[in-house]
Amino acid sequence: MHKVIIDSDWGGDVLQLTSILAARSDQYEILGATVTFGNASLAQNVLNAGAMLKLMHLDEQVPYFAGAVAPSGQNSPPEGDCAHGKTGLGNAVVQHSTVPPANQHAVDFILEQVEKAPEKAITLIATAPLTNIANAIRQAPVVMAKLKEIRIMGGCVQPLNGYRVDAQNNRLSENIIERYGNITEHAEFNFQQAPHDAATVMGSSIPLALFPMDCTHQMTLTPSRQAKLKSVFATRPDLCKQLLDLMTGPSHIDERKFGIDSTLHDAHTTLSMVSPRLYTGTRGVISVSVAPDEPYHGRSTLIKKANGPHWIAGKITNPEEAYDHLLDAMRHVLVKI
């Protein structure tokens, strides 16, 4: 049985990646859900975690834990881009769980679970600013070295075609530019929000698998994929609307900045666990710019090395098959087949 902890800001993307594992409960045990700031405040994301777990019928099985309210050394989170709206759930209306979050801090929970588990028994999934994980590494590096690996959605190592926008995300022109990020032209959201924490995690000796934007942008919620979802959930129109609202949350920003449909970012961290043949990648070393006064704040850079400590996903060999796996998992978990 593979043991997993999921650390995130717990929106619709996290429901997707969790469904992949929950649909295979005979193979994967989700030990807990740890929560951080990110697409919304920590307090909102804790509510969202309970709601997402409830939607998957997991809130009485999987405990959830509040963690970082802001990047290490800061009292409040940096300004975001509201890609998923003020609640972090787009336009979705969901029921909050009646099961409260656990009293234990997220970092303490992570360290407790890793310390008592056998060596290389736990995989940590991380799809938000990396503050909880960085703090755990700083607090107990020897304990965290016991992890099997950390699987991260974050960064961007190859340029993406996009557009320059103003502060309100209006395109300044139709000229194509190279973008290395979504929140800025040079940085992906998770790394840009807490670059010192991302640098700490990248600089650890823990095995890492990174799923950067240039990989995740290969699977978007196209009209034909929306039609598939509507077909799969045709008997549950209420649930179908919730899912579409959750999954299309960033559609406005993705269209304005990249000219694409909503990107399905986080699911690749777990899709690649159950179907590794769908992904190719390279080994190397990822670094993160931490300079606060330059436009490259939070930018990630890859130096390829055959024996490098990081595996970086590059290509999704069959995005349609990957999406079908995701749909099947969500159907299995959400309607309890």
173 dihedral zone (left: phi>0; alpha: psi -120 to 50; beta): beta
Helix, strand and coil in the chain, % to nearest 5: 35, 20, 45
pTM: 0.96
Nearest partner of 267 among 181, 153, 159, 166, judged by Cα: 153
pLDDT for residue 80: 65
The rounded distance, in Å, linking the Cα atoms of 307 and 304 is 9
pLDDT for residue 13: 95
- The pair phi, psi for residue 43, each rounded to 5°, is -60, -45
SS3 224: helix
pLDDT for residue 81: 66
The rounded distance, in Å, linking the Cα atoms of 8 and 45 is 9
**Residue ranges with strand state E in 247-299:** 279-288
Q: Any idea how long the chain is?
A: 337
| Domains delineated in the chain | 2-334 (3.90.245.10)
R_g of the chain, CA atoms, integer Å: 18
pLDDT one digit per residue (tens) for the chain, 337 residues: 899 999 999 999 999 999 999 999 999 999 999 999 998 999 999 999 999 999 999 999 999 999 999 999 988 887 766 666 677 887 888 999 999 999 999 999 999 999 999 999 999 999 999 999 999 999 999 999 999 999 999 999 999 999 999 988 899 999 999 999 999 999 999 999 999 999 999 999 899 999 999 999 999 999 999 999 999 999 999 999 999 999 998 778 899 999 999 999 999 999 999 999 999 999 999 999 998 777 899 999 999 999 999 999 999 999 999 999 999 999 999 996 5
SS3 188: coil
